[in-house]
Structure 1
């Protein structure tokens, strides 16, 4: 809904009575439990009243502002209007917390991160979340970790949607279009399950008065994965048991409890000798042998996932695109022991010639179902794990060393493991700290606290300096402590008439203190520093860069069409985050099962070159996960899709 920037009118403070009434309306609409007195004595009643007030403040902080907005919605771009409620919890920046339109209140992700379980929580796979964060709706087959689903997830109910990789941090807000609680099977189901209203990284998420970028989702939000009794529910138990590998969608490995690998190794079935082992001569394989090796490698892959994971999908996330299918279910299980065998076992040397025809051949064998998509791509929708060829499959010996695909599978080794290069950036912690350097016109502000007007400050550092000035000049309103009176300095240097809001504030001679802070921050020059903590050394002092002017850097991921209809993914801007381009290229070559290259970015200085990594195929999701392993959050990544002529 908020894929395009809405038109938000100037904010106005929300009266206390209106705030309480709106909070109570939210509590009623969402059927939240209101604290009741445990007895009739005054102390119990006072405690219940205090708890009720705390619930209101958690939903709508006492600094909440409101404003009308207009935007377009739906395929016919119907114009709608509503109200946004903007506030800040302790320690947070001012953000849109609630959206009201068509007489209904919708929480934003910022509210969900602060208020667990106020709406039912659903889950979906990472590849689906990527689609939802472009405005797509959640279809029934995309539901994960169920059935059963939450009892309150009924048609017309506001729900939250989280990524299975971060199950306690909602990233999408929507409305159920069906009774999700009654869904008994998602495999093969059709139809719309949740209509998307708002998501992390949309324009409501990104909005702020000072123009600061939106805040990324936390890794974990305590309280979401709890059942009605207050105990950790089955879903939370499941997340503790599962270890989700950062791989291409479809390559999710579910590691069971400690010691299971040892048991599997001891119970390893007798291996079949295909005649391709180390004891045979190093020779080129015939086309028939290559075809047979690819078919058996696929059966081995399905058998492996079925043996090590739970039904119904056994750790695979459908649909699987061609590159994921090949790199996850086929290449790790090819019996390539010698250089010539490795050279022979390539899909282009088989009778299938390409992955699409290979998938179609397996579909004729009725082992899987596939579907053609736009752009000449075929995806795997489902696999028959109970097919006789899978059930009766006998594992064979595999090489332990790295194969041509960059993956090895041996006894007791997970097929989905990718060998990370010796890259010091993997596992590091990266923080980007926004700094503000006051301009010369703001110098009188710092005299009250004897602060340096030319130093670098964070937003948190500037707040006490601003409050000290307001108190020293006696500018805090006697009638409303949250408001500040204007003196000649604030009227000339801060509220200078450039904003439509300024004229009203100058006429009243009064402004909300939060607005004063926001305007002073906007009047400073933006700077940033990048702090990097090495992997495995959380207590080590971070390596902090020098302050640099401007907005924080971003890694740019560009999807381009090359050689007719082939897509390539380019990555640049890695150096600012301490990432070695060649090391990243080596990992992407294995994970994406495609060729990679590293070259100097066109236009960059030869003395301080910016390197660009290129990988075959539309691999933005895989690149994003590789960057996250190196501490680069999604909010520091910009994806430009030139294949569709639009910017995500």
Structure 2
């Protein structure tokens, strides 16, 4: 379900009453949770957000997030735990094990076939068709997938362990997992249930994994193969499995050595090493000489972040440098690059020593594309990666409006959508019987509505308001806010109304016109990238300079009246709504051909 990227529609903090209702629903869905575990699972005071998403196939899903990690998702009023929740409560669901090579197929959207399920000596847990189950990897009790059984345990055995056994909903390494902190599964020892296994565990030996005789009559291990059949994953063949296991053993050994070396370093030293790795990776694979000069902020956001390995996150404050400018100064002292302040307050990388020994000696980590492939597709990726943000106007309860909203449980600063404001006002009017009996299009103004919505000069003159006037006055008296959701990121709520992209024309020397574009950053657009694309399209020089009177804003300036080309790029290619672009009416009028 989450094998492909989903779209976030809305994100709100859960209210106290909804939190209690959710806890009741969780208790009903997972009765084996104790009262103490239930309180930990749905905490009373910690931040808990509700996120509405749309999956790539159009499914509407509600996700509950706490401590930045999704813990539950809800589909058609049915609750399902995420892998983050199952790592804390590994025994929450009946579990079935599979082989490690199968995981990559499950993460790619495949279902789990019965030949890929490992039969433990103690037998399978008893489940019915439609039971929610966890999928684990052999040797680790930490779940890596959440699935629904398509057969009961008896039907699985009767089918000779053939056919599709589980419909997979969510896995470790899918996009729902990526929405969290991208942590890896913990290592949890398998539960020891067999008496012989218990004796081995007491002696310090690992429990043996064997297949019951009756099951071996139905399943020939040598005939199993890992390949995708009708979108389902099965097990690898015996020879391939031996090779995979040998490779995994070697990888595990090297990984353990690497982890031991990393564990010996402080978190600060580890973050320093991660910054160095991403820095050299970005210079070697992402940046070309033609990109210079390059804004340091763009280099960090667009190049270094994309080189960060999965499961890790760059955070300059956790490093010894504390500021990215100090990190670049250190690299400058090593004569790897040169940074200059081309415009006041805006630093850019102006030169890179591509022949520096550290850059030449750097090896690209496995899992990343080669430098040449990255460079060839760089300009193309820039255009394809952009997704127009979703912008939702919101309203905050102001001091003046507190009396009107406190009956519905809201206080100063509560963030509401326009529909929520409308419902609260309508409920207030009906509860206080303020609808005019003679004309239901009007609402009688009581003392609270008078104080909240009317000016001093109006209070003695107006006794009734039309519904539309009442609602518009409510919105006008509230604090304007807006929520911006960029593709693949959590929604961000900002104060005020969002500023539109501002396009203006200016006169320069010799009566030449230039087009100036501001506020691109507010919509997730890289000004340098926009300048480069425009320069190529219209064959005119483009530059970037700070916006006068600001510290962190820049503007794009390009020769001539290029509003026609800008409109086509912003509206058609980037698919930004026209209402968020200001100045398109200044485009040059095309003359008629004679």
What TM-score does the superposition give when structure 1 sets the normalisation length?
0.36
Instruction: Indicate the structure (1 or 2) with the bigger Cα radius of gyration.
Output: 2
What TM-score does the superposition give when structure 2 sets the normalisation length?
0.39
